[in-house]
Amino acid sequence: MFITIEGIDGSGKSTQADHLANWLSAVSDEKVIRTFEPGGWNGGKTLRKFILETKNLCTMSEFLLFMADRAEHLHRVIIPELLAGNHVVCERWNESTLAYQCGGHGMDYDFAEKVIASCSFPEPDVKIFLDIPPAIAFSRMKSRENLDDKHKRDRFEAEGLVFLEKVSSFYHRLIAKNPDKFIMIDCGERQEHEIAGEIMRKLGVELSDEPNSD
Ligand SMILES: Nc1ncnc2c1ncn2[C@@H]1O[C@H](COP(=O)(O)OP(=O)(O)OP(=O)(O)O)[C@@H](O)[C@H]1O
Ligand SMILES: [Mg+2]
């Protein structure tokens, strides 16, 4: 299975990807690969740093760099792992591009959608959306950045609360268009274990509904 986790910065994607990968490893015989965008492939660190740290990139370059990153990630990691019969849990995928570049940075949605479709980036089997008020995610980011250098805000995170609100409302528009395609998780003020429990329950139901499960 190819599972993606979406949500604004600080919504808890990495935290929940850990829980989900641990749970999936425990309940299935297949290996679970935990990956992320941008840069989740061998050599992707350089591109990640470039995308997240270069100042004044125009939105078109930003978009195309994310596309290039996704293509490498797909061909070097995701496709081989799925073909080997493993599960892949990935933080961010096509919806991040639409929410950040279109919702956050004003790129034309029809154009972005067409390019994504032309690149044949596959639809995940399951898409999880972590729904959180932007103000809560923003305050988590602010407290996290004081910890150490590793948690310094990147270029997107540094754009502030208004940007996060734009991205969040675009995610909601995308989900409203196709609500059945997402597992929506209300993350409000809830503890991470409670959220993880809900993801496992909902994913378990989804799997038992799959046709052909034998
Ligand atoms: N349910 C929760 N309640 C309180 N804090 C949480 C919860 N889940 C995660 N956190 C904390 O919030 C911060 C952001 O979480 P995390 O790094 O998992 O988010 P993220 O969506 O991966 O962020 P980014 O997009 O920046 O990578 C972390 O410091 C994490 O420990
Ligand atoms: Mg993360």
Ligand 1 centroid, distance to 12 Cα (angstroms): 4
Q: What is the domain range of residue 21?
A: 2-209
Structure tokens at 212: 């052909």
- The total number of structural domains that make up the chain: 1
Q: Is residue 65 in a domain?
A: yes
Cα separation, 115 vs 19, in Å, equals 33
Written as tens digits, the pLDDT of the chain (214 aa) is 999 999 999 999 999 999 999 999 999 999 999 999 999 999 999 999 999 999 989 999 999 999 999 999 999 999 999 999 999 999 999 999 999 999 999 999 999 999 999 999 999 999 999 999 999 999 988 887 766 666 677 888 888 899 999 999 999 999 999 999 999 999 988 999 999 999 999 998 676 666 554 4
98: domain CATH number is 3.40.50.300
CB contact at 8 A, 170 and 99? yes
Which atom of ligand 1 has the smallest separation from the CA of 91? 22
Whether the model pTM is above 0.85? yes
- Among 11, 15, 151, which is best to mutate for testing ligand 1, by the most ligand atoms less than 8 A from CB? 15
Domain-located, residue 21: yes
Q: Which of 6, 14, 159 to mutate to test the pocket of ligand 1 (most atoms within 8 A of CB)?
A: 14
CA of 40 to the centre of ligand 2 (A): 12
Task: Identify the pLDDT of residue 213.
Answer: 44
Cα of 144 vs centre of ligand 1, distance in Å, is 9
For residue 187, the model assigns a pLDDT of 96
Q: Which ligand is nearest to the CA of 96?
A: 1
Q: Tell me whether residue 214 is in a domain.
A: no
CA pair distance 34, 3, nearest whole angstrom? 10
Nearest ligand to residue 151 Cα: 1
Q: Is the CB of 195 under 6 A from ligand 1?
A: yes
**Residue in the structure block whose two tokens are 């003020």:** 189
